[in-house]
Amino acid sequence: MSTRLSKGGRLIDRAQAVEFSFNGKRLRGFAGDTLAASLLANDQMLMGRSFKYHRARGAVASGAEEPNALVNLGRGAFLEPNQRATTTETFDGLEAQSQNHWPSLEMDIGVVNNALARFLPGGFYYKTFIHPRAAWKHVFEPIIRKAAGLGPAPKEMDGDRYEQAYAFCDVLVAGGGIAGLQAALAAAADGARVMVLEQTPVWGGRAPVDGDVIDGMAADLWVKTAVQALEGMPNVTLRTRCMVAGVYDHGYVLAEDRVADHTPGDGRPKKRLWRIRAKRIVAATGALERPLSFAGNDVPGVMLASAVRDYVVNWAVSPGDRTVIVTNNDDAYRTAIALKEAGLSVPCIVDARAVANGPLPTQARALGIRVETGKGIAKVKGTKRVTGVTLCMQAGEGAGLEDIACDAVAMSGGWSPVVHLWSHCGGKLTWDDAHAMFRPDATRPPISHDGLAMVYPAGAANGALKAAEALVDAALAGASAAWANPIAAAQADMREEAALEPVWIMPQGASYKLRAKMWLDYQNDVKVSDVQLAAREGYESVEHTKRYTTLGMATDQGKLSNINGLAVLAGALNTDIPNVGTTTFRPPYTPVTLGALAGEARGEIFQPLRRSPIHAWNEQANAYFEPVGLWRRPYCFPRGGENHAQAIEREILNTRIGVGMLDASTLGKLIVKGPDAGRFLDMMYTNVMSSLGIGKCRYGLMCNENGFLSDDGVVVRLAEDTWLCHTTTGGADRIHAHMEDWLQCEWWDWQVYVANVTEEYAQIAVAGPKARALLEKLGGMDVSAEALPFMSFAEGTLGGLPVRAYRISFSGELSYELAVPASFGLELWEKLVAAGADLGVMPYGTEAMHIMRAEKGFIMIGDETDGTVIPQDLNLGWAISKKKADYLGKRGQERSYLASADRWTLAGFETLDGSVIPDGAYIIAAGVNANGQGNTQGRVTSTYYSPTLKKGIAMGLIKGGLARAGEVVEFTKLGASPVKARIVDPVFYDKEGAKQNG
Amino acid sequence: MANPVAPWGNAQFDGFAKVTEIGPLGMITLRAKRDVAGLEAAFAALGLTLPDPRRIVIAGDKAAGWMSPDEYLLILPYGAVNDALASLATSLAGQHHLAANVSDARAVFRIEGDKADQVLKKIAPVDIDTLAVGELRRSRAAQVAAAFWKDGQGYTLVCFRSVAGYMMGLLSHSATSGSELV
């Protein structure tokens, strides 16, 4: 059984007990524990079930690489699936649930899959479910998703807070082990700004566990001294619980700071995503131990040798009373020695190598530990827990030599440098044959904007696995990254270790039956036999094999399985490991919570909401808002029990017979000024703006270089050298940028300045036969037809507020648009509402505006235009100057296709039965096209029920256009007979303009 | 005439730093090239000094900021804008320039306290630690454009009026007690 030892535990505080629960069971641990350590201390070796076969699984590792021990933390609004028990700190009140089990962790029905394993080989999904096609979506996928899968997605909105923060430094050191600390000391010595980020809560990494001695001190003490030195430097920032997730171009780094994971409810943000711009990065990310592939290497109780050592030394947890060590290297002997020193039994060290006579094996033997060389494990006994192992010859086929009873197995297949950060931005790897590992190739680093190396690997991450080498390597890396003078590295005692011998399959000649029980990828249940099958089926590329077998996928991204998997693949393909290569290392290093990526962007500040100065009034008036860019504009203002259609009808009729008000503040407003401003606007617009009289307004069209209609609006001339251009709401920033583009890049010598004053003014349209009467009630300026005729403007005051009043009309009614400084926008609006009470004034929304302009035959950018329409298509030839030598779009419009008489052009449509033509409907033409689809001769662009005319009206584009007036055509209607409509003039209301001109 | 209304009602938030919507302030956007004749005199006539690139020169309740090689931001009391525009028109008569009142197009916030820098560090991709006194930084605050500078015991931040509510929410979230960057 696994239990807590009575002594030791360098990271725990025995004085501080904490209570937590696992699957509802109340358990106790100590402050400083990881959840995995606490569970093992409570003899809870079984922590989860595997993805595909639902096999019993316990922790195999002690850190970030853990594939098995995934749990759900918290509940309800605080539920977090797929959390690694090995990196979760145990705190008082922690609630954990194991995953992927049904009905219970101990008794899992899904384990039946295990019996069916031979029917579930690699590529099984692809082979089995490909036909019939429809069955995947409706039958197979739902069932597989239920049976397989990791933790459940939370159903409630996340109850925690998250945020992001930016940081800048010269050198970012990823990893706070001895290499990271040494690199930081070197990098910071000359004053460079240095950040050191460590993913665990503890500085020092593995060195203290491995018993290294540095500068004559125990590693623990050296680490403490180094951290103190760094803390004392004003140019150094240190953070624990902060995982460097990814390295991106030009030294951009993302790191996840687990601010309050371990102290929930204390008011701090749960996580913070750091967005760091580092000049250069030191990757002191250490190395990960590799499992060995022997049958039953996934049974709970089989762990990495380094993890066993960690549990004993760091948390005083014994994974078992009797632990068999199986290894291909000297390092694992440290685990045997640590166990022995903790008073535990090590029945045997099984060493695949023929000889093991280095200092560590010698020390182990001196402690009385039996060492069996040239041997391997044929299989592990037990299902939910290791009960023993059967030994065999490593060189043989797995015939059992001897059974040894034990309750834990510590395995070591050698170490793989953590090359992720080196690789994220393109750093290349080289295969180190002596150590059987990929390590960074110093000649092919990831490069930054300056073409120089961006990431400097240090210590074990660079293949310098021993402390003495790692410190020298890290001191150099730190100084190099800071472009600083080198400093003397700390000295670690050197202990000789013999070379490891690569062992990819144990025993090397194992039968299929054994290979089908050798787990490569614990999380995805990928075994040696699956990768070999993939190779036989032609999957030669490691990337293809990954996707076919799911090797190295899911939350652990193959931290334990990648190298073993590709070594097996290389073996099956009869090639070298470097020829197979690795899969691509992509960020994040370990999973990052979506909440941290979203940061503050949720709820009220999910997205900027642009509010007009009248927005709050609109809200109180029960406006139903529609999004227009980031603005919310009132679509309509329902009153009482009105539905939207009723509200819109009322708003329109009230405007047509009385007076209505529209919040038009969102319209773009650009001041264009300078000696060349007139010439510039003549190029921007299709018509002539330079000839516009001061005090006058003119409607204008803007096209892009290809001739397509891009924006429209009223231009007014404020002064001899100054114009004000109105754009559509969505066009304000776009047209401003368009103007600046032409001024800065093409006509840089023209003297023109543009200022975007969109938000300086609130703008209120007052429209309807009683509009003038309303303004006169406020008083302050002459708004008579004589003083202020149609298409002119005047400046003055209304109700004591400074306004510029434009006589322009988008509704077809007598209409004024009043521009007022935004600070007074609400005040003017409220004064108009109050003064207009007895005139029956009502606000109207954007839908009423849309319908009224359609009744009047006015086009709308985005309805009548879609990026393929030129002004001529919309019968707007009158707004295109024939006299001007040029304007943007002129040449484009002269291209044969755009100048063709066959283009669809604008017309009005009246349905014969008064109904409304469906949005997006096409006009049917005779015959079918090459694809057998019905031919079309046009389409509807705007279609509404007209409250004014009490019938459906529409505008659309049709081949032949208005020349076909009077003809009846048919519009498509989904699920019904086509709608018959007559081609008519698109101006349905007040064609002569008596109302707007009045 | 009533008093002008600040876009977000001069809202306040007290967290580990204090956030206050101030203003409205008088603001003029001035487009002119640096070498335009009389530019320095035009600034001087307003009691302002022509700022160096990326700098803002503050003089009492007035300030002049460099926004781009041909754009300046002039800050002055709200009621002084019309006179200032008239003064600029006189000083720069015959010289190509554009001066426009943008007082109402902006929202202005103060972020104050020992840890005010941390509020900005969470929302702007700017190296706040190296932001010099008198440096005007045009950047973004989370999802919207913003400009800010260090001023006394805090920072002044300017954004567009329409997103004043978003900015207040953003600054308040960032300044919430307990979320100090430590």
- Could you give all domains of chain A from N- to C-terminal order, each with its CATH number? 162-287+416-481 (3.50.50.60), 616-666+760-853 (3.30.1360.120), 668-756 (3.30.70.1400), 901-997 (2.40.30.110)
Residue B180: inside a domain = no
**Residue A444: how many CB atoms within 10 A of its CB?**
14
Please judge whether A163 and B2 are an interchain contact, meaning their C-beta atoms are less than 8 angstroms apart. no
Average pLDDT over residues A765-776: 98
Residue B50: inside a domain = yes
Distance of alpha carbon A494 from alpha carbon A205, whole angstroms:
18
- SS3 for A412? strand
Q: How distant is the Cα of A456 from the closest Cα of chain B, in angstroms? A: 23
The model's pTM is 0.94
Q: How distant is the Cα of A591 from the closest Cα of chain B, in angstroms? A: 22
Phi-psi region of A809 (alpha: psi -120 to 50; beta: other; left: phi over 0): beta
Distance of alpha carbon A232 from alpha carbon B29, whole angstroms:
46
Distance of alpha carbon B98 from alpha carbon A653, whole angstroms:
43
Residue A626 has pLDDT above 80, yes or no: yes
CATH number at residue B56: 3.30.1360.120
A432-474 residue pLDDT tens: 999 999 999 999 999 999 999 999 999 999 999 999 999 999 9
Confidence at residue A149, expressed as pLDDT on a 0 to 100 scale: 57
Please judge whether B98 and A266 are an interchain contact, meaning their C-beta atoms are less than 8 angstroms apart. no
> Which of A166, A674, A757 shows the shortest C-beta gap to B124?
A166
A136-184 residue pLDDT tens: 666 666 666 555 557 888 899 999 999 999 999 999 999 999 999 999 9
Pairs across A and B, CB distance < 8 A? 127
Angle between helix A644-657 and helix A846-855 axes, rounded to 10 deg: 60
Confidence at residue A998, expressed as pLDDT on a 0 to 100 scale: 84
Distance of alpha carbon A348 from alpha carbon A351, whole angstroms:
9
Please judge whether A610 and B163 are an interchain contact, meaning their C-beta atoms are less than 8 angstroms apart. yes
Contact A586, A558 (CB under 8 A): no
Beta bridge partners of residue A378, listed in sequence order: none
Please judge whether B142 and A601 are an interchain contact, meaning their C-beta atoms are less than 8 angstroms apart. yes
Average pLDDT over residues B43-69: 97
Q: Find the closest chain B residue to A605 by CA distance.
A: B166
A203 at the B interface (CB within 8 A)? Answer: no
Contact A677, A725 (CB under 8 A): no
φ, ψ at A818 (rounded to 5°): -105, 115
Interface predicted TM-score (ipTM):
0.97
> Which residues, at least 6 apart from A193, have a Cβ–Cβ distance to it below 8 Å?
A168, A169, A170, A171, A235, A236, A237
A450 at the B interface (CB within 8 A)? Answer: no
Distance of alpha carbon A954 from alpha carbon A946, whole angstroms:
9
Contact A150, A51 (CB under 8 A): yes
Average pLDDT over residues A50-78: 92
Residue A101 has pLDDT above 90, yes or no: no
A251 at the B interface (CB within 8 A)? Answer: no
Distance of alpha carbon A140 from alpha carbon A747, whole angstroms:
62
Residue A107 has pLDDT above 80, yes or no: no
Average pLDDT over residues A341-353: 97
Please judge whether B6 and A759 are an interchain contact, meaning their C-beta atoms are less than 8 angstroms apart. no
Q: How distant is the Cα of A762 from the closest Cα of chain B, in angstroms? A: 9
Please judge whether B178 and A759 are an interchain contact, meaning their C-beta atoms are less than 8 angstroms apart. no
Which of A250, A277, A823 should be substituted to probe chain B, the one whose Cβ sees the most B Cβ atoms within 10 Å? A823
Name the more confident of A523 and A387. A387
Residue A524's pLDDT band (cuts 50, 70, 90): confident
- What is the Cβ-side half-sphere exposure of residue A754, based on CA atoms within 13 angstroms? 25
Distance of alpha carbon A396 from alpha carbon A292, whole angstroms:
16
Please judge whether B142 and A266 are an interchain contact, meaning their C-beta atoms are less than 8 angstroms apart. no
> Which of A611, A674, A823 shows the shortest C-beta gap to B162?
A611
Distance of alpha carbon A526 from alpha carbon A548, whole angstroms:
10
A426: which 2 tokens?
């393109």
Please give the tally of structural domains in chain B: 1
B70-109 residue pLDDT tens: 999 999 999 999 999 999 999 999 999 999 999 999 999 9
Chain B residues with beta carbon closer than 8 angstroms to that of A674? 96, 98
Distance of alpha carbon A641 from alpha carbon A222, whole angstroms:
76
**Residue B29: how many CB atoms within 10 A of its CB?**
22
Confidence at residue A336, expressed as pLDDT on a 0 to 100 scale: 98
**Residue A107: how many CB atoms within 10 A of its CB?**
9
Residue B1: inside a domain = no
Please judge whether B96 and A751 are an interchain contact, meaning their C-beta atoms are less than 8 angstroms apart. yes
Please judge whether A674 and B98 are an interchain contact, meaning their C-beta atoms are less than 8 angstroms apart. yes
Contact B16, B113 (CB under 8 A): yes
Average pLDDT over residues A488-508: 94
What does each C-alpha distance from A180 to A186, A277, A289, A457 come to in angstroms? 10, 18, 19, 10
Q: Give the structural domain span for B110.
A: 12-175
> Maximum Cα–Cα distance for chain B, whole Å?
57
DSSP A758-794: GGGEEEEEEESTTHHHHHHHH-SS--STTTS-TTBEE
Please judge whether A823 and B5 are an interchain contact, meaning their C-beta atoms are less than 8 angstroms apart. yes
Q: Find the closest chain B residue to A820 by CA distance.
A: B104
A279 at the B interface (CB within 8 A)? Answer: no
Confidence at residue B88, expressed as pLDDT on a 0 to 100 scale: 98
Return the closest-CA partner of residue A554 out of A22, A70, A88.
A70
Q: Which of A110-119, A130-139, A478-487 shows the lowest per-residue confidence on average (mean pLDDT)?
A: A110-119
**Cα A994 off chain centre by:** 56
Written as one letter, the residue type at A51 is F
Residue A93's pLDDT band (cuts 50, 70, 90): very high
In eight-state DSSP terms, residue B102 is -
Distance of alpha carbon B58 from alpha carbon A988, whole angstroms:
59
Residue A648 has pLDDT above 90, yes or no: yes
Q: How distant is the Cα of A617 from the closest Cα of chain B, in angstroms? A: 13
Which of B166, B168, B180, B182 should be substituted to probe chain A, the one whose Cβ sees the most A Cβ atoms within 10 Å? B166
Average pLDDT, chain B: 96
Residue A249's pLDDT band (cuts 50, 70, 90): very high
Return the closest-CA partner of residue A846 out of A652, A640, A630, A608.
A652
B113-150 residue pLDDT tens: 999 999 999 999 999 999 999 999 999 999 999 999 99
Q: Find the closest chain A residue to B173 by CA distance.
A: A600
Q: Find the closest chain B residue to A238 by CA distance.
A: B182
Q: Name the A residues in 636-675 with CB < 8 Å from any B CB.
A: 671, 673-675
What does each C-alpha distance from A63 to A86, A424, A676, A716, A917 come to in angstroms? 5, 21, 68, 68, 64
Please judge whether A167 and B130 are an interchain contact, meaning their C-beta atoms are less than 8 angstroms apart. no
Residue B4: inside a domain = no
β-strands A904-911, A951-959: how paired? antiparallel
- SS3 for A470? helix
Q: How distant is the Cα of B125 from the closest Cα of chain A, in angstroms? A: 6
Residue A572 has pLDDT above 70, yes or no: yes
Please judge whether B5 and A166 are an interchain contact, meaning their C-beta atoms are less than 8 angstroms apart. no
Chain A residues with beta carbon closer than 8 angstroms to that of B178? 266-269
Distance of alpha carbon A277 from alpha carbon B125, whole angstroms:
9
Residue B1 has pLDDT above 70, yes or no: no
Vertex A802: Cα angle to A800 and A805 (nearest 5): 110
Please judge whether A759 and B126 are an interchain contact, meaning their C-beta atoms are less than 8 angstroms apart. no
Confidence at residue A131, expressed as pLDDT on a 0 to 100 scale: 62
Average pLDDT over residues A325-343: 97
φ, ψ at A5 (rounded to 5°): -80, 155
Please judge whether B4 and A824 are an interchain contact, meaning their C-beta atoms are less than 8 angstroms apart. yes
Chain A residues with beta carbon closer than 8 angstroms to that of B118? 165
Place of tokens 């059984």: A1
Distance of alpha carbon A626 from alpha carbon A852, whole angstroms:
18
Average pLDDT, chain A: 95
Average pLDDT over residues A637-649: 97
Please judge whether B102 and A757 are an interchain contact, meaning their C-beta atoms are less than 8 angstroms apart. yes
Chain B residues with beta carbon closer than 8 angstroms to that of A759? 104-106, 160-162
- SS3 for A81? strand
Please judge whether A600 and B173 are an interchain contact, meaning their C-beta atoms are less than 8 angstroms apart. yes
Asked if the bond preceding A132 is cis, omega within 30° of 0, the reply is yes
Chain A residues with beta carbon closer than 8 angstroms to that of B98? 671, 673-674, 753-755
Chain B residues with beta carbon closer than 8 angstroms to that of A822? 7, 104-105, 161
